Structure 1
Amino acid sequence: MIPESRFRLVHPAVSPASPIVDTHTHLALTFESYRRKYPAGEHKTVYDFVRALYVPAGVKEIVDVWCEAPVSPLWREFADSALTEESRRDKWSGMGYWFVMGVHPHNAKFYTDKVEADIIEAMGHPRCVGWGEMGLDYHYDTSPRPVQRAVFVRQLQCAVRLNKPLTIHSREADEDTERILKEEVPKDHKIHIHCFTNAPAFAQRLLDHFPNLFIGITGVITFSSNTDTSTTVRNMFGPSASEPPRLRIVLETDAPYMVPSTIYSVPALATPDANGKKLPLSHCGMLPWTAGFVAGLLPPGRGGDAGWDAARVLSVARENARAMYGV
């Protein structure tokens, strides 16, 4: 197994002006994955893990995602530990902890009145900033499609009624996702299309219809097998872009998934270990490598515009996260 010391990463673009704000991560699952892969690892609690890897890397805020059914009771421990400035300092070393909650389309078949009531209760917590992730996944079809659609509509109606921002999962379900969103959600509602890998034309239609919608960019944008996400970002500055062009993205890791391939430019990570293995999980400190890849897709500076680099992408994405979730 690759040494856990290699998870300690600091990107030169990170600064107080360009901090890391991860708008979609699964912290409990990331820590669980770490403990499973490193049972003798040095970080014994999730708070140790955050203090050792996230805060030194420049992680300023995270939006943690709870999307199981039934609802995990662990959410309350995390959220309550971030209620006061003192507890955030003691537990999280000052990092801002926020969360969203919903039911993932994989788990739609387990959605019940009790699950819905538990989510609605969580919506009242001061650290809750949205409902999700929810949506449609026609790639795996873990839940039957009619059930996915019915549960998606039901969650949207609850979230809109409560005026909660939406975190949306959509995979190979462009047509139904677009139709349901346009039927159920007011045009000015805040929407985050999480981990976008869909058709660029689908993204453009949503961006044109919903002025407060943002496209979520993960490390999957760096994968050679994925070109649609890169095209979607480029199109924000292309002929069909709004005037003036605007980078309508939020950055996310979806940790523990999708380590950005560009991270292997770090000298200590440039080659696999002796067994040919690479990093077995991602974490929030890896986000700047995704930002750097995004910067390389954007047009060079003209006139007084200095152009794009990882720091500027981090800064713009941070402002978008504030507009989306208030964090």
Structure 2
Amino acid sequence: MLRSCQPILSRTRSLAFRIPSHHRTMAKKKSSTPSEEFLLLPTPPSPLPIVDTHTHLASTYSAYRNRYKQGKYNDVHEFVKKMYEGRHVDAVVDVWCEAPVQKIWRTFADSAVKPEDRAGIWGGMEYWFVMGVHPHEAKHYNDDVEKDIIEAMSHPRCVGWGEMGLDYHYDNSPRDVQQVVFARQLSQAVRLGKPLTIHTREADADTERILKEQVPKDHPIHVHCFTDSPEFAQRLLDHFPNLYIGITGVITYTTNQDTSTVIRDMVARSSSPDAPLRILLETDAPYMVPANLYTHDALKDMKGKLPVCHSAMVPWTAQFVAGVAGDGWTPDRVMREARENARKVYGV
């Protein structure tokens, strides 16, 4: 195992990360790009420890290098340590979801096994990961891919299988193939006792059916970046007592009302004002910068939009959730609840 940051830094410095297909559109966007200093962020609305339960660190760093050709940070570890410095990023769950599996996952994971490496290489942050095959990549799933994922499941920093699921918005893989691959991954994950990281978009009926066919009711489930109907969310919450809804910065967008309705429904159905929210906070970085971040005075003179999301932005999502949840809810309370839920689902 690596005992210092130097070996891994030298390896990642020369590595050209392949941006996953479901993240590649970021590299093609053309817009006014603010100075990278703005990525360091102003004082957050909550000082509590952050657990980002769904991020893509390799893709985030690639997006950063794409938009900042002369950027200051020469590898993913320099980027993480500087972006998160003083921001109380306690832990992340990094998501690997391509087929074939990116071999660099092991370099990341091995660098986080020893406490001294997490302190030196990751700046004290707890690095965890999940692995699966995204529905966009389902057409590339085969026995060899599955073998690689099963091998990764035994790594001490692996906390789940995913993201996997169905995506009928883009249909990058045929729907029948998506369904077969989804069921196959669920079966393996349940067999291994691994928590599930689920991607579902515009596929409510088939996602619900396959989950209920393949997954025991008490299995831990994270439905990541939920944007579908509140009725669908409620059916899943009612059936699976250990299922939690993932909330990203997309909840802050005016084009998305369903995620806010899910939060309001949770509060309305609560048996008491002290009842917890069954949510997890996440970024899905490099995407979905919370829109309310731009209301901060420190960003009022910034030109353009931030091209990269990262884990230190989670408190702004918590702030928005608190506003939606209403009386008695604060960013700190949302952060505490989401932190506890991350322990319940992933043990992190």
Shorter-chain TM band: over 0.9
Shift of 1:241: 4.2
Q: Which runs of 5+ in 2 are unaligned?
A: 1-32
**Which residue identity is paired with 2:330?**
D
Shift of 1:27: 0.3
**Which residue identity is paired with 1:39?**
K
Which runs of structure 1 show a deviation greater than 6 angstroms over 4 or more consecutive aligned residues? none
In 2, Cα distance between the equivalents of 1:148 and 1:115? Answer: 15
Asked whether 1:212 is paired with 2:235, we answer no
Match of 1:174 in 2: 204
Match of 1:303 in 2: none
In 2, Cα distance between the equivalents of 1:55 and 1:66? Answer: 24
CA contact (8 A) 2:81 2:123 kept: yes
**How many matched pairs?**
315
In 2, Cα distance between the equivalents of 1:54 and 1:260? Answer: 17
Q: 1:270 aligns with which of 297, 300, 311?
A: 300
3-state SS, counterpart of residue 63 of structure 2: helix
Shift of 1:265: 1.2
Q: 2:343 aligns with which of 300, 322, 325?
A: 322
Taking structure 1 as reference, are residues 91 and 205 closer, same or farther at Cα in structure 2, changes over 3 Å only?
same
Q: 1:78 aligns with which of 87, 108, 112?
A: 108
Taking structure 1 as reference, are residues 178 and 137 closer, same or farther at Cα in structure 2, changes over 3 Å only?
same
3-state SS, counterpart of residue 125 of structure 1: coil
TM-score normalized by structure 1?
0.94
TM-score normalized by structure 2?
0.88
Q: 1:120 aligns with which of 150, 170, 186?
A: 150
Q: How does 1:213-292 map to 2 (within 5 A)?
A: 213-238=243-268, 240-241=269-270, 245-273=275-303, 277-292=304-319
Asked whether 1:8 is paired with 2:40, we answer yes
Match of 1:304 in 2: none
Q: How does 1:33-72 map to 2 (within 5 A)?
A: 33-72=63-102
CA contact (8 A) 2:44 2:316 kept: no
Taking structure 1 as reference, are residues 197 and 242 closer, same or farther at Cα in structure 2, changes over 3 Å only?
farther
CA contact (8 A) 1:264 1:271 kept: no
In 1, Cα distance between the equivalents of 2:140 and 2:44? Answer: 44
3-state SS, counterpart of residue 121 of structure 2: helix
- Give the superposed CA RMSD: 1.2
In 2, Cα distance between the equivalents of 1:151 and 1:97? Answer: 27
Match of 2:186 in 1: 156
CA contact (8 A) 1:236 1:245 kept: no
Shift of 1:309: 1.2
3-state SS, counterpart of residue 2 of structure 1: coil
Shift of 1:297: 1.1
Shift of 1:36: 0.9
3-state SS, counterpart of residue 71 of structure 1: coil
How many percent identity over aligned positions? 63
Shift of 1:266: 1.8
**Which residue identity is paired with 2:221?**
I
